Structure formats: structure tokens, C-alpha cells
Amino acid sequence: MHTGNNQVRVRFAPSPTGYLHVGGLRTALFNYLFARKHGGTFILRIEDTDQKRSIPGALENLITTLTRTGLQHDEGPDVGGDYGPYIQSERMDIYKTYIQQLLDSGKAYYCFCDEERLNRIREEMRKRKRPPMYDGKCIGLSKDEIADNLDRGRPFVIRLRYPKEGKTVFDDVVRNKVAIDNSIVDDQVLIKSDGFPTYHFASVVDDHLMKITHIIRGEEWLSSVPKHIFLYESFGWEVPVFVHLPLLLNADRSKLSKRQGDVSVESYLEKGYLTEALLNFIALLGWHSADDREIYSLRELEEAFSLERINKAGAVFDLEKLNWMGGTYIRQLDVAYIADQSRRFFEEAGIDISDSDKYLKVIGTARDYVYCLSMIVEHARMFYDTMTFSEEDHDLLGQEGSKRVLSYMIEALGGQETWSPDDVSALVKKAIGDLGTKGKNFYFPVRLALFGSCHGPDIPTLIGIFGRDEAVKRLSDALHLKQ
């Protein structure tokens, strides 16, 4: 096992097959946090050897999304480094060298079976309730038979010659000792018929050459570890430390999938979930701190994170908790920062926010009601739009008592140039006394006139946002509504 803080090297190795999944972001985050905690190196490597699934533009999109979250990698295709190239399709010559070594040592073999035969074998295995595995037909081919098949241009794959006796026992940081029966481990394809390596082969070669010390990845790779260990040992390489993260689950405890909701990181960022909240939420999916604290900045996570506190049990992706956390961050972070992050939503809605003083005050009020920034416009629009009133609103504003309240406020506000919140509070108290009215008979018409709703921020806040002149204008418009 690797020790020593100065040599930790970890990698996040996604495939460019679409957007970044929240599960992928968690893998990236845990690798990033572990590297930062130990002063190590966080590497981005692109695993694009499955050419059929690679999507144009997905690589750039992946790097952009990762950059937006603030998880900055130290080495990668866009920033370089000493162990490149960092895109697997650019490393084909490297894989050719190492596969030849495995063929020469008898640890791998050519397989010329066609798809039809392989499908037939799989079907037979399924009928016998056994895991679908290759039957080893091509293991015994002589050198002459292999040479003849290659000369005739027959399609082939190269498979791992995996021993079928005994068990492979290995350590995993999350699961401690894991034992897997070798008889259920397939002779894995290492090089596909298109000449590209599979994940199993390329990742082992790259992890060794890139000096990866800890492999932190999803639980779905756990059953493949025996094949990977066999490859390390076949080359005489040191085996890294394995850390397999628990599954992400839907609320019904089924595996988190694209079919059951939104799983793309980009869509959460587009809706205006703050990256700070998203990373904090995702950090707690399968990891918990010693004191069960909930709110962490990225820097605090870097300090607190440890592999030992990763759970074995699957982690439920609880949208309600993400929303709670989103709202907490929006209310707690600096209002100028929230205003800046919200700007694009106001621009898209065509709202003029050039009065920056007013805009900041609006954000300061509207942020109390939202958990992602795309919602903030709906809670701010009434500060910018011309008031429109329903029939019910008309009835309330048309009442004699409401008119007295509005007239009183217009006259009182007009008598003074500037109003502090304390001044307005004192005025409200005096008005209620002078008019001899009950609280809601005062508050409802004033709020409705200013804000378009009987419920909402208090009167000093509203007048503070609008300023005296705009407040008087709104009160006057409501007083003179045509019934």
C-alpha cells in the first residue's frame, strides 16, 4: 500500500458519452478532496476508447462543467502534465506495446469467435442460470492457426487468460477484505475488434504509467478488480489502493438512473443551484463527517474529508435535502455574490436591473423564498413590473378603510425626503394609532398597493427597496384605481 502524503496521485476518468452525471461529479469530488487533503495531484483523464459511444463536443462540455464546479484538476488534456497524453485514443501505441507483452507471456490470447457464436454461448449460460462467460474455445489455438487466421484477415479480439481456480482476495478501503471466486471471472476482452482497448486494459496500463496511488471510483467496478489485479501482477506492477464508493439511489432505493429524474450536473447548474450547495450536498452522499455536521464550504471539506468515513450503504439522492441546502446557501452567502449569480436570469426575463442599489435590495428580500436562482425572478418581478390587480384586489383596495390608509401613507411619506427603516416603522405605528385601524386592515392594502400581494416583506423593507417617490406613486395608483 502506498504511504506518504507527498505522493498521492488520483484520477477522475470519465467517458465523453454525454453530460456529466451527478454520480460522476461525486467520484470527481472525492478524488479531488483526497488529493487536496494530502497535498497530492488530481488528474483528469478521458476514457474514449468506446468509439461507438463517444459524442462530439462531449469532451469540451465535460471539462466546462467540471470547471464550473470549481474542481480544478492539476493534470489533464486541457492543462497538460508530465504523464500525457490524457486522452486514451491518443495513447494507442502505448497499449500496443503492453498487449504484445501479455501475448508473449501467455497471459492473453487471440479469439476469433464471431458475434453469433458468442451470443449462442451467452444464451446457453443464461438458460443454465450461470453468469454469461466466454467458454475458452480459442485458448488452445496453435501459433500456426493464429498466424493463418491473421493472414486471412479474420476479425479478432484479444482476451485475458484468467485463472479459474481459487479466489482473489483484496483490500478495499470501504469494504475491507473482498473475496471473489475466480471461476465466475470472465476471460475479459482487452483489445476489441476495432483495435481499441477496453476500459479494463487501458485503465490499468494508464493508472500504472500515470503513477496513480489510489483508485476511487463507483461500486459497479468492484467485481472487475480481480481482472485488474491479475493484469498488475502479470506486468509485475504495484497494485494501487482501491476505494469503491457506494451506489447512488433514488428515493425508492432503486439505482439512480436517467429514467427517474434529473441526473445531469449541467441541468442543476443551469437552474441556478449554487455550485457551493451542489458540492456540499454531493459530498454527503456516502460520506459523513466525525461530528455529523451538514454545511461545509469546499475548503472545509478539503480539511475534513477522509476515506475512512465513506459508508458502505447506498446513498439516497434526496432532492428535498438538496433544495434545503440550496436555500441555506442562497440566504447565507454574500448578497452581492447572489446578485451577481442571479443576473443572467433577470436578463433572460428582460428585466432592467441597471439600478444596482435597488437590485441588491430586491435580491436581499427575494432570496428568502428560493432554493435555486431560476426561482428568484418570480419573487422579484413585482418590484419591477407595473402592478396588475385581480377583481378581489380591486374590492379590497376600493374599500373606504383601505382608501383612508393609502391616503394617510401618501401624505405622510410626501412630507419627508428620505426614510430609514426605523422611520418607516415609527410611521406605521403612528398611522395605525391615528387611523384607529386593526393591523391587517392597515398592512393588507399597503402591501397590496406596493407589492401586488397582501403577504410578503414588511412595509419598511418594501419602502426601502422602492424609495419614497416610487412608493408614493404605487400607493397613488392603487388609490385611484378605476373600480
| φ, ψ of residue 218 in degrees (nearest 5) | -70, 155
Catalytic residue among 137, 258, 430, 473: 258
Report the b/e string of 159-196 with b at 16+ CB within 10 A: bbbbeeeeebebebbbbeebebeeeebebbbbbbeeeb
The grid cell for 424 is: 418607516
Closest CA to 159 of 141, 177, 179, 175: 141
d(CA 482, CA 397): 10
DSSP string, 219-250: GGGGGGHHHHHHHHHHHTPPP-EEEEEPPEE-
Residue 271 annotated to the active site: no
Bridge pairing between strands 214-218 and 241-245: parallel
At 58 the three-state DSSP class reads helix
Bridge pairing between strands 157-160 and 189-191: antiparallel
Structural element, H or E, at residue 311: none
d(CA 21, CA 390): 44
The grid cell for 9 is: 496521485
Rounded to 10°, the helix 275-283/319-332 angle is 130
**Residues involved in catalysis:** 258
